Structure 1
Amino acid sequence: MASFITRRLIAAFFVLLAATFLMYILVALSGDPLQELREGNAPNKIQLMESLTARLNLDVPPVFRYFLWLGGVAGCFIGQCDLGVNVQGLPVLTLLQQAMGSTLQLVTGAQIIAIIVGLIVGITTALRQYSGYDYSVTFASFLFFSLPIFWVAVLLKQYTAIGFNDWLADPQIGIPLLIGISVVSGLLWMSLLGGAPRRRLITLAVATVSTGALLTYFELSNWFTTPSVGIVGVAVTAIATAVGITAISVGIKDSHALRGALVTAGLGIALYYPMTFYVFRGMSLPLFLGLAVGAIVVGGGIGYVLGGRDRWQSARTSAIVSLIVAAVIALDGFLLYWNAYFNSSRVNGRPMATIGSETPNLGGNFWIQGIDTFTHLLLPTIAIILISFASLTRYTRASMLEVMNQDYIRTARSKGLTQRTVVVRHALRNALIPISTVIALDLGALIGGAVITESVFGWSGMGQLFLNGLRAIDPNPVMAFFLITGLLAVVFNLIADLLYASLDPRIRVSS
């Protein structure tokens, strides 16, 4: 293992060295950073040109200038990183740190959601091959895969943000829209659950009526203007989560795991009022993250204690239930401050943001700042999710179909194992082997691909750092962006190889 990693790192070093050299030379020869000053009429034009020449070492040939830049990068290994300065004289390292934080905030959540949803939908479409659900997802995947992300972003701005903000001025659903949404929801659930014709019709009827009743309740109770989850919503969600996660994870017949999940859900329900009236008032980001970790630990502990023979499986199930219940309670905490955010003079009743990463001079506590972050992240996150989800779903479906036709899957079924056991314990692990490469490479390329998304949504991240460097013929910011994306590509390629070895015991990386 160590020798394999060492060989890969050595090869990656020389690849990065050659790539950064070519990139630096291309940027340096793409134009003259002094051209704007030469054509200007500033009285101190000569002094400005001399200052910029000294800052960027423009009096040094590009080849030797590259090695000066490389020497600053080499200092990172001893804690003395120097990526140079930009044309304004600002340290590129400081600009890079700020830009990376903004970009990671944008892409991390989007990619996690895309992976989870893509895997789930890909697996379910493989299990429901040639069904209406399968055809619908296939059509949607190819549609989103074909659309350029800047076009998706523009559509989201127009019909999601602007349209939703206009609707919030008078949030009335109306009978035709109510019927349409209810029927579409019924068709989606019918397609998803499948089964015999009688079961499909029952699913259609129940889902349609339930959706219509829920939307009617929301409208009559003015939920869209004063949204909340409440203790009833938390309780229903907690119990449904406990049953559903147990059924997926270990099977509903595992009484020990079900008991642990239900106890965890009950504890979450019991803590709703203490959390809402006491803990949430002084909430901060460290406390919020600490509570999230605490929820996982407590839930896992309950599952382990009540887990019977399969303690670790029960602990995993209860930990997932605990995290979801905690998320629902946290969501209610955010919704409690929705009106304060919505009626703020800086928001002015149009909460869905179309540009930027925050509302200037908004102020407010942790919850209001969290809502503001969410409203600014929502559209770019959806755009990234749709594009990533489209490819990941197709890869997962193809891999799962290939695995489900293997001999050992037929053997597992012939032994009388349940469908859940066959899929989760036998098929899924092997289906994830090729998917791990796709996910790893997507993660490595995501920051580089966020340039267009950041440009459309006015997000000040690494994409803007890269574009501003190109426009100003400023190699240092461009090279900082290229260095990070190159390192990520190398690291995630290595992670993909290691995941292959961990998922498939036939693969060895030591030889």
Structure 2
Amino acid sequence: MIGFVLRRIGVSVLILIAASFVMFNLVAISTDPLEDLRQSSLPNKQQLIQARIQLAHLDVPAPVRWAMWLGGVAKCLIPFANQCDLGVSFHGAPVTQLLPTAMGSTVQMVTASLVLAILFGLMTGILSAIRENSGFDSSFTVISLFLFSLPSFLAAAMLKSFVAIGYNNFLQDPVIPIWVSLVIGVVMGVIVQAVVGGDARRRLIAFGINFVITSGLLIYMSASGWFLTPAIGPVALPIISIAMAVGLVALLAGLHQRRALLTGGIVAVIGIITYFSIQGLLDRATPLLIVVLAVVAIVVGLAVGYFVGGDDRKQNMRIGAILAFLISLLILIDRFMQSFPGYMYDTNGRPVATVGSGTPGYDPNNMWRSGLDVFFHLVLPTLSLLAISFAQYTRYSRAGMIEVMGQDYVRTARAKGMPERVVVVRHAFRNVLIPITTLVATDLGALLGGAIITEYIFAIPGMGQLFQMSLGPGDIYPVMGYFLVIAVMAITFNFLADLSYAALDPRVRVR
């Protein structure tokens, strides 16, 4: 394994060097970095031209400038030397100072959209495969194909017009008519009964329960003013925590596993008690404290699963850790929602932003309101990028699951009398992840490419905007900084994908 890793690192470095040489020279040949100054009517035009030539070493041939730039990149590998040199822009700003600021928004958008696309795409694709040729399958096939063919700029424009402006207007008088609540309840009921499947009686029960719950919640939220003062609350959070415990145990172990149920119940009770006991602490929370609390929650979940033990201790530990993380995330979401009225006041009642990655000069000295500001600025760009990837994961996971469910080992597992849950989760799902792993590595490049257009439409000062504003005038060093970050991320994700194959497929062995 060590030899494989070292070989891959060596090959990756050679690929990175060769690609940087091609990129540097293409930009140098295809652009004129002095064009804007030559067309200028300023009296000191010649002095400005000479200053730019000296600043960017434009009097040196492009291959030699690339070698000089590569030497500066090599200094970045020296630990604690603080000598990293990626060049300077035409405005005299070091690229090492431009990149961290630009990377923040882009990494947040791409990471969130990638994770959400994988989660929702896998769930939808697997459900479509299990309910093959059903109404649910046909509906999401049409939706995924529509999203796949939707250009990113059009998705961004539609989100700005219909979601941001529409929701901000709705918050001025957040009342949902009863007939709209009933229609939404009917739609959700139809979707859920299609997912549940079974005979007509089972579908009708699923439709009725979901219709009542969805319509009732919407009517209650509208009548109580929940949209202006949202919160999960001390009543709903325990109910949701217990429901998540039951659902997670049913998915991973089965409700007949008493020790798994005991693990889920204990972790849920600990999470509910924690919710009521740390509210005062969360008022003074910092990002570091949140991370520490999340780690502690996962450790507690692992400990509960370990001490409950049983025939499958690892499974109980897995259930405890996942459930502890989900309940922690639920508590975190509730705390952010409690801060929404204050943020609503700070934004004059229009919280969903359409431009920028944050409100200029906004510093509420409150982690929760600052987090809401980042969320409402990046939620629409993230959804825009999500539309690019969601369809791919849905179609790949659906096709992979249909193929796997027809394999001999799946039929053998069913013939042994294993529950369908075990067949899908333990036998089929793991093999579906193998092609998805490759897709994740390649999809990263598509997301980063889409980020250029998305950041332009939403006026986000990220990596895409840095690349676009630098490439036009031929400002080569910021362009190479963008290339370096993107290339390293792509190579790293492909490397991790190769390592993941051995963990997912026992037949793959690295010698």
Counterpart amino acid of residue 503 in structure 2 = S
2:51 aligns with 51
What is the distance in 2 between the residues matched to 1:125 and 1:106? Answer: 27
Q: Which amino acid aligns with 1:225?
A: L
Cα contact 2:36–2:473 (8 A) shared by 1:
no
8 Å CA contact 1:55–1:87 kept in 2: the answer is yes
Aligned amino acid, residue 311 of structure 1: R
One-letter code of the match for 1:128? R
**Structure 1 position 490 matched with structure 2 position 491:** yes
Q: Which runs of 5+ in 1 are unaligned?
A: none
Which of 279, 282, 293 is the equivalent residue of 1:280?
Answer: 282
Instruction: Give the secondary structure class of the aligned counterpart of 2:173.
Output: coil
Counterpart contact for 2:90–2:475, Cα < 8 Å: yes
Q: Given that residues 437 and 497 in structure 2 are in contact (C-alpha distance below 8 angstroms), is that contact kept between their aligned partners in structure 1?
A: yes
Per-residue Cα deviation, 1:50-76 (whole angstroms, up to 9, x for no partner): 211111001111122111112211222
Aligned to 2:258: 255
Query: Who is 1:319 aligned against?
Result: 321
Contact residue 303 and residue 316 of structure 1 kept, 8 A: yes
Q: Does 1:110 align with 2:97?
A: no
1:25-55 CA-partner distances (Å, limit 9, x unpaired): 1211223222222222333322222211111
What is the aligned partner in structure 1 of residue 307 from structure 2? 305
Report the residue type matching 2:421 in the other structure: R
Distance in 2 between residues matched to 1:11 and 1:263, nearest whole Å: 49
* Aligned equivalents of 1:259, 1:3: Cα separation in 2: 44
Tell me the SS of whatever aligns to 1:282.
coil
Q: Shift of residue 142 of structure 1?
A: 0.6
The unaligned stretches of length 5 or more in structure 2 are none
How do 1:223-372 and structure 2 match up within 5 A? Answer: 223-276=226-279, 278-344=280-346, 347-364=347-364, 365-372=366-373
Q: Which amino acid in structure 2 is aligned with residue 203 of structure 1? A: A
Deviates more, 1:402-411 or 1:297-306: 297-306
CA distance in 2, matches of 1:47, 1:96: 29
Residue 231 of structure 1 deviates from its aligned partner by 0.7
Residue of structure 2 equivalent to 1:208? 211
- Asked if structure 2 preserves the Cα contact closer than 8 Å seen for 1:265 and 1:322, the reply is yes
1:445 is displaced (CA, Å) by 4.6
**Equivalent residues of 1:107, 1:381 under 8 A apart:** yes
- Is 1:472 paired with 2:478? no
Instruction: Give the Cα–Cα distance (whole angstroms) in 2 for the partners of residues 330 and 496 of structure 1.
Output: 31
Q: CA deviation at 1:399?
A: 0.9
What is the rounded CA distance, in whole Å, between the counterparts of 1:90 and 1:411 in structure 2? Answer: 64
State the match for 2:405 in structure 1. Answer: 404
Q: Distance in 2 between matches of 1:269 and 1:2?
A: 45
Task: Measure the CA separation in 2 of the matches of 1:140 and 1:59.
Answer: 54
> Residue type of the partner of 1:223?
W
**More divergent stretch after superposition (487-496 vs 186-195):** 487-496
Q: Is contact 2:175-2:223 (8 Å) kept?
A: no
The question of whether the paired residues in 1 share the 8 Å contact of 2:356 and 2:459 is answered with yes
Deviation at 1:176, TM superposition (A): 2.9
Change (3 A) 1:326 1:475: same
Question: How far apart, CA to CA, are the structure 1 residues paired with 2:139 and 2:341?
Answer: 37
Could you tell me which residue of structure 2 aligns to residue 460 of structure 1? Answer: 461
Aligned with residue 131 of structure 2, among 122, 128, 139 = 128
Instruction: Give the corresponding residue for 2:394.
Output: 393
Q: SS state of the match for residue 125, structure 2?
A: helix
For 2:207 and 2:181, how far apart are their aligned partners in 1? 15
- Cα pair distance change 1:7/1:271, threshold 3 Å: closer
Distance 2:219 2:411 in 1: 47
Aligned counterparts, 1:157-236, within 5 A:
157-236=160-239
RMSD between aligned residues: 1.5
Check whether the contact 1:448–1:485 (CA below 8 A) recurs between aligned residues. Answer: no
Equivalent in the alignment of 1:85: 88
Q: Which amino acid aligns with 1:289?
A: V
| Contact preservation (8 Å) 2:388, 2:447 | no
For 2:441, the aligned partner's letter is A
Structure 2 counterpart SS, 1:77? coil
Deviates more, 1:42-51 or 1:420-429: 42-51
* Inter-partner Cα distance in structure 2 for 1:301 and 1:506: 32
Query: Using the alignment, how far apart are the partners of 1:10 and 1:308 within structure 2?
Result: 46
1:144 alignment counterpart: 147
TM-score, with normalisation over the residues of structure 2? 0.96
SS of corresponding position for 1:431: helix
Q: Note if contact 1:445-1:485 (Cα within 8 Å) is conserved in structure 2.
A: no
